[in-house]
Homo-oligomer: A and B are copies of this chain.
């Protein structure tokens, strides 16, 4: 028999048992402890540090020592992806490395005007069946609801029998007003829960909602558990496409994560996942395919399209989600190609598909998606921005965790502000934009992105440096979006100043310094009051779609009319891209 050791986690509190020699990161991941394993457990991203309070403490490796020093961590911290369990271990996960603490930004927290969830509960009292007017329980239900009902087999099998106490009184869980999902004993109408999910390439957010009131009752965030298979969408698609078990790797990872997150959230709220009858998920095209276990072959090769756009609600159990066995899953419709359900959800959150004006919607995430609407016309495109905006592939980068630099100013030198005012441990997206703009303004970096002088790194503070490579990553990400926006404006023959609004969703939340964003060409040079940061519009859209059945039909119909532009198809694309690499504002007019 293999020897096992106890692992006691003091904060967040948990106890696991681990086989001798097993990798601590594996144990934490299996137990659903939210920790970032961004670099695929290769010991290089430095995002999975734990503090070993008791237990064996081998000397740190070279990379580990460097990371410990750079981040100013206590000497008893170790990377969990390098640490093998060889004794009883007592540990603490420093706040900065807990994913649950990640800040999430919101839009549309209000209950939608047409609050009308698809799942409703009704306390039913059936009229008694008599010899003079006998009726079946099914007929009794139809009489109660005064309409024809769809009764799935499971419900027919659970109809109240003659020996059920109080058989004539129960709670019917009704889907879209005409399908009975389940019959529950007694009056359970006050417990009606649903979940809204945003499946981002980097981050997954789950929100639990009360479907009776539309109010959230809990929320959790975690790094997407697919990251070990690639930090960007293309490498995950390649993994799924090339490996026989690739699709099930990615499907299994996201389902497992969702199940763990939902279980945890439900426990925190004192409910059971069995009580959840509907979940709405919004994610980009690849994410929705992975969740459903649908092959992504057609996303892997030109002309790059998904297998489907919108589809009927699925059963949670068919997908492998551990909710009520009859729970339904609605997927925000994919628009086209890589412009997916996260974008249609974003449009839904902002009601953009219902307005007639001209606007631009930019989602700055691992993929940068752009939607341009002019009157009733609408086009969309996607760009491969990469995870730089989320601080994910930079040497100094950090998720928006405590200790990350989120803003910078200049007072004869850099003045850095960190989340939670903790010691600086890295730079998140908004901080990077400020720093880059300050560098260009104060000629530490020229507009081509080259660090002035012979230096290869720019020292920002005692513990933080920005490398030439970091700047290049940012340049590429910014240029990808800038080219996309410019190209779309040109096609539509519309100038930036003609846009009524520019909505910016995604990584930056609402704390981005607009002037700095405009200065380096990340944001179009529109009047500041026309630029609106909308945070996680995808989650807000998923929530709205959960709380309103009619919104689903509206966005599904809209999505079918959106035209898709493939930037790579445009002969001018390469030249536009190279031009856009310059760290300077949009050149006004159409570009």
- Write the residues of chain A forming the contact surface with B, with a CB cutoff of 8 angstroms: 129-132, 134-139, 150-153, 156-157, 159, 161-163, 292-295, 297-298, 300-309, 311-312, 314-315, 318-319, 336-337, 564, 566, 568-569
Contact = CB atoms under 8 A, between A and B. Distances in A.
Taking the full assembly, how many copies of this chain does it contain? 2
A302 B129 CA distance: 9
A303 to B, nearest CB: 4
30 contacts: A129-B303, A130-B303, A131-B568, A132-B569, A134-B336, A134-B566, A135-B305, A136-B298, A136-B306, A136-B307, A137-B307, A137-B308, A138-B307, A138-B308, A138-B311, A151-B308, A153-B292, A153-B293, A153-B311, A153-B314, A153-B319, A156-B307, A156-B308, A157-B293, A157-B294, A159-B308, A161-B298, A162-B298, A162-B300, A162-B301
Given A132-B569, A153-B315, A162-B297, 6 more contacts: A131-B566, A134-B564, A138-B309, A152-B312, A162-B298, A162-B300
A137 B564 CA distance: 16
A139 B333 CA distance: 13
Nearest to A302: B131
A384 to B, nearest CB: 16
Contact of A157 (B131, B156, B163, B292): B292
Contacts of A159: 294-295, 307-308
Nearest 10 A-B pairs (CB), nearest first?
A: A161-B297, A138-B308, A134-B303, A131-B303, A134-B305, A162-B297, A159-B307, A136-B305, A156-B294, A150-B312
A131 B163 contact: no
A254 to B, nearest CB: 15
A161 to B, nearest CB: 3
A150 B569 CA distance: 32
Given A162-B300, A308-B151, A312-B150, A292 B156 contact: yes
B157 A309 contact: no
A134 B307 contact: no
A455 B506 CA distance: 98
A151 B568 CA distance: 31
Nearest to A285: B136
A304 B162 CA distance: 10
A157 B566 CA distance: 25
Given A135-B305, A302-B131, A303-B129, A297 B163 contact: yes
A307 to B, nearest CB: 5
Contact of A337 (B134, B162, B301, B319): B134
B303 A157 contact: no
Contact of A295 (B151, B152, B157, B312): B157
Contacts of A564: 134
Contacts of A298: 129, 136-137, 161-162
A559 to B, nearest CB: 11
A337 B568 CA distance: 67
A147 to B, nearest CB: 13
Contacts of A163: 297
A311 B139 CA distance: 11
A525 to B, nearest CB: 32
Contacts of A135: 305
Considering residues A129, A135, A156, which has the most beta carbons from chain B within 10 angstroms of its beta carbon? Answer: A156
Contacts of A134: 303-305, 336-337, 564, 566
Nearest to A308: B138
A100 to B, nearest CB: 31
Nearest to A141: B308
A569 B133 CA distance: 11
A337 B130 CA distance: 12
Contacts of A569: 131-132
Contacts of A292: 153, 156-157
A301 to B, nearest CB: 5
Contacts of A137: 298, 307-308
A282 to B, nearest CB: 18
A556 to B, nearest CB: 9
A470 to B, nearest CB: 34
A518 B84 CA distance: 92
Nearest to A154: B318
Contacts of A303: 129-131, 134
Contact of A139 (B151, B301, B309, B568): B309
A295 B154 CA distance: 11
A389 to B, nearest CB: 27
Contact of A318 (B132, B153, B161, B297): B153
A568 B318 CA distance: 47
Contacts of A318: 153
A381 to B, nearest CB: 12
Nearest to A568: B131
A334 to B, nearest CB: 8
Given A132-B569, A134-B304, A153-B319, A161 B295 contact: yes
